[in-house]
Structure 1
């Protein structure tokens, strides 16, 4: 099993290193990750600048992998096209420093790297750990490996895409594993209006984790209840059920001038 490991927190992130150690029990792991933190970049790719690649050593002096001065999607694209001698069997992105549940999935560089892997018809899994004052990445990595091995044991179709979120260790051991849809409600977002020393107005985004949520079970609710969440995703955003309806609209003929 050849595994490509990437992330959006950067090649030096503790979450990536913890997951690298665990995934080495599952297969041969190659790390190709951003040189710098890329949180919130979504599925951006680099078009106007060169992608600089450098070798990165682990804390024990052995080679950890490669850093790319680009986005998470850049890392996967470059890995498959240029840096690996053949495509990996599995792509894992994480462990992200903070959950990627609900609409945060749309902004996440962690998830975008997994989506890029699915573009290549490679099974791809994004892994994130709920934000906490003290992250326990080794424990999260152990849980993540068990989830990943379960996914692989069920032989998903090539190009399958999964988003996994692990609750904070502050909640205690996970209550269970829930396969749930992505939540689409907005929660906890806002902006704080401030003034700088020169009297200029600026805004700082705020975020409050969801508590006491109600409604249909989703990744946001299940995670807040202390469960590991697994969500199968797709990148085809076509609303197929509406195609026939929209085709039947009275569309104007092309304007020939």
Structure 2
């Protein structure tokens, strides 16, 4: 299978290298990733300037843009052949619950999904991740399952892997996204010129983390696999909004 890899931690990130090594054993792998850390870039596209694609000594391509840019450029013109799947990661840290809205890792996979390709975002759920080989093995197994039992049309899977040796994983679960409490307030600071600056505060703790959520699965040693949808329509409110507009 022709697989396009990307991430949001940058083309030099050890998680990306581990993912490429894990998948290159059985697949034709091409990497196109940001030239620097673009965590939190979400689904942004660069439209105000052209993008440059360069190739590192590792063979990885890298772009002066966002994760979405990387997948879009690679899949729609840079590569001679359209990839058959997009895989993004291995992210250095979890992407669960509300994180998925901001995540560049999820955004890279989402761009593949929007282009009609099956896509997987894979993250190692630790602030100081160590067991990248575990996440690489999980990615390899999920792709093998996709080959054996293909989805009907494009699919977008958000995968979070406990930072454990592979043998210590308790299994794999289909989950829904949990929810976090609101983030901590911004932090006021001052730069060397005496100007006021603001740092975005830390993410909130898990609020909805009950059984069935991605938070619950990972906390109990299970790999979490959450199918995502890009339809943002609040269908339950359509009837109300329609009547509200008619008043």
TM normalised by structure 2 equals: 0.89
3-state DSSP of counterpart to 2:4: strand
- Secondary structure of 1:231's aligned partner: strand
Give ranges in structure 2 of 5+ residues lacking alignment: none
The worse-fitting range, judged by mean Cα deviation, of 48-57 and 163-172 is 163-172
Q: 135-144 or 45-54, which moves further after superposition?
A: 135-144
Indicate which of 169, 172, 182 corresponds to 1:174: 169
Indicate the residue corresponding to 1:105 in structure 2.
100
CA 1:146–1:53 in structure 2 vs 1: closer, same or farther (change >3 Å)?
A: same
Other-structure match for 1:9: 9
Report the CA distance shift for 1:35/1:243 in structure 2 as closer, same or farther (over 3 A).
Answer: same
- For the pair 1:149 / 2:144, whether they are aligned, the reply is yes
Question: In structure 1, the residue corresponding to 2:81 is in which secondary structure?
Answer: coil
Contact 1:210 1:224 in 2 (8 A): no
User: Which position in structure 2 is the counterpart of 1:255?
Assistant: none
Aligned to 2:133: 138
| Contact kept? 2:181, 2:206, Cα under 8 Å | no
Larger deviation: 20-29 or 90-99?
20-29
* Partner residue, 1:92: 87
Structure 1 residue matching 2:227: 3-state secondary structure: strand
1:223 paired to 2:218: yes
> Is residue 42 of structure 1 aligned with residue 36 of structure 2?
no
Deviation at 1:12, TM superposition (A): 1.0
Largest Rg, 1 or 2: 1
Pick the aligned partner of 1:232 from 206, 221, 227. Answer: 227
1:107 CA displacement: 0.3
User: Is the Cα–Cα contact under 8 Å of residues 33 and 72 in structure 1 kept in the other structure?
Assistant: yes
TM-score by length of 1: 0.85
- Work out the CA distance in 2 between the residues paired with 1:51 and 1:208: 31
More divergent stretch after superposition (196-205 vs 146-155) = 196-205
Give 1:215 deviation, angstroms: 3.1
The superposition leaves residues 57-103 of structure 1 with CA deviations (integer Å, 9 ceiling, x where unpaired) of: 22xxxxx2211110000011101221111211110001011110110
1:125 aligns with 2:154: no
**Counterpart for residue 61 of structure 1:** none
C-alpha displacement of 1:159: 1.7
Secondary structure of the equivalent of 1:77?
helix
